[in-house]
A = this chain, B = another copy of it.
Amino acid sequence: MKQVVVVNEALKLPRGKLAAQVAHAAVGAFVAASTEVQQAWLNSGMPKIVLKVDHEADLIRLYDLALEQNIPARLIKDAGRTVVPEGTLTCLGLGPASDNELDKLTGELKLLR
């Protein structure tokens, strides 16, 4: 069981902005999960990894695949008051879900360093 957040690294967001967007995605996907899944993940120590893609289109593709497979998912769109144009997709929260389900979707992506 884990949670994955995929970042749109084309934006090269500054650290504070990036962290806030990833946190939005994490909470957003968390509340989309069932109570049982939430609890199982919390009990296992909330494992989470942050991965990256280079194109906004990849976030949309992964989001659609996640919904097809009933994986909790939340796309985050920036409100655009500061760093990036309004409506830009900054990241995608996926899970909590099983490692296996998430690895099928995101196993090819690189870690965000």
Residues of A within 8 A of B (CB): 3, 5, 7, 14-20, 22-28, 30-31, 38, 42, 46, 48-50, 52, 111-113
Copies of this protein, total: 2
14 new A-B contacts, CB < 8 A, other than A20-B50, A23-B25, are A3-B23, A5-B20, A7-B16, A7-B19, A15-B15, A16-B50, A16-B112, A17-B113, A19-B112, A20-B22, A20-B49, A23-B50, A27-B46, A31-B38
Q: How far is the CA of A5 from the CA of B14 in the complex (A)?
A: 16
The main secondary structure of chain A at its interface with chain B is helix
Bound CA span A52–B17, Å: 13
Give Cα distance in the complex from A18 to B113, angstroms.
9
